[in-house]
Every structure is written in structure tokens, then in C-alpha cells.
Amino acid sequence: MYLTFLILKRKYTYYHIKLPLSMIFAIFDKQLISNSIVHVKDVRCTLTDMNIFHKLSSVTNKCGRIKKRVDEVFERILISDKLRECLLIEDSDCYLTFTEKEREEFLFRLFKHICIGGEICQQEDDIKPYIDITRKIYHDLICAHKNPDSGLVEILSHVYEVQVFDDQNNMVFPSNEEHINTFAYAIVDPFKRNMIIFYHIFGCGEFF
């Protein structure tokens, strides 16, 4: 069995590093954190197309340009447009564009993570680059197949959100500081016996 680390480098480019599972175990063989507690949460992953993002027409102009707004800082994130207001500000009318069930989907989470980016990322003026890179990464992360009986495309992968805490309930993975855009996902393909670790630590570093 292999673990695949998907690494996103620079702006919208990424590559894979595939390592044998035995090597991963060797890396973590030394118990650096005693009495650690691992939290694993199932993440809903059922969407097989990008239709959910048609709703974003309410935060963009007809040409796809994202509508601007007065600057506001939320959780160290600069919100200067309606897109990030829709994604982050719960008491905004824009927030109601998506239901809570839609927000639980891994595809939506991925889109949200990409839109927020890092602490000093350069924001796009148009919505298309965000949707395009979300589609590309989602396709790379998730395994799907066409059901021969129904003819419908179905997701095969299982997605889990992973956090590790010490015995004092302090988070130690993916970072020792919690943030809305610090995350770690394990995406398991049960047929290929392959697991991808996809994670990011919010700040001025690189997006992994």
C-alpha cells in the first residue's frame, strides 16, 4: 500500500510524491508525542460535477468578475469581495447562497480552501480560475466510476478530516495553531489501496 502526498507549489501547480507505506511508518516510528489523541471525521463526498457553483452568479457580474465590497479582516483573512463574504461571514445574506449540507461536501470545502489560500496570497478578480483549479484538484484527489446498472457516476473514495491533539487538548497536527484554513484530509481509494494526504497550514508558508 502507498501513501500519495499531493503537494501544491507556487500558483496553481502541483505534483505527487508516492512513498511506500512502510517508509511512512518508519518516519513516524519514534513516538514524538505521548498520549496523542487522533480525531477522524467523515467528510461528505458525493458530488460528481461542478453544478453547485452555478449559485455563485449572485456574487459575480455576468462576465464572471467577482463583486467587490468594503475591506474587512476575519480570522486574519482579508475579505474584500462578495465571494469571501459568501464563504466566511455567517451573518451575511450572501452566506445563505449555500445550504449547510452543501457546505459539508468535500468539493465545497476544497473550493473554499483554495479561495482563502494563504495569509499573503494574491486574490483573483474572476471566479473562473478558482473553479478551474478546484475541478482539477478534485479530479486528481477523488476516484469515481460509472455504475453499470444505473449508468450514473459514483464516488468511490472515502474522505476523512484528521486532527491530532496532545493530552492537554492542544492541536499538534496539521499545526499547533487552529485556523479555519488549516486542515488535513486523508482521501482513501479502497480499490487501488491508495491514500492521499492533502493538508495546508495557514500562514506565509507553502500550500501543501
Q: What are phi and psi of 122, to 5 degrees?
A: -90, 125
What is the pLDDT, as a whole number, of residue 12?
A: 45
What is the pLDDT, as a whole number, of residue 33?
A: 54
Residues listed for the chain: 208
What is the pLDDT, as a whole number, of residue 13?
A: 46
Q: Provide the residue-wise pLDDT of the chain in tens; the chain has 208 residues.
A: 444 445 444 444 444 555 555 544 444 444 455 567 889 999 999 999 999 999 999 999 999 999 999 999 999 999 999 999 999 999 999 999 999 999 999 999 999 999 999 888 889 999 999 999 999 999 999 999 998 888 899 999 999 999 999 888 889 999 989 999 999 999 999 988 889 999 999 986 554 4
What is the pLDDT, as a whole number, of residue 20?
A: 54
Half-sphere exposure of residue 163, counting CA atoms within 13 Å on the CB side? 17
* Ranges of each domain in the chain: 2-46+142-200, 53-137
pTM over 0.85: no
Q: What is the DSSP string of 26-91?
A: HHT-S--STT-EEEEEEE-----SSGGGGGGGGGB-TTSBBPEEEEEEETTEEEEEHHHHHHH-TT
Q: What are phi and psi of 72, to 5 degrees?
A: -150, 145
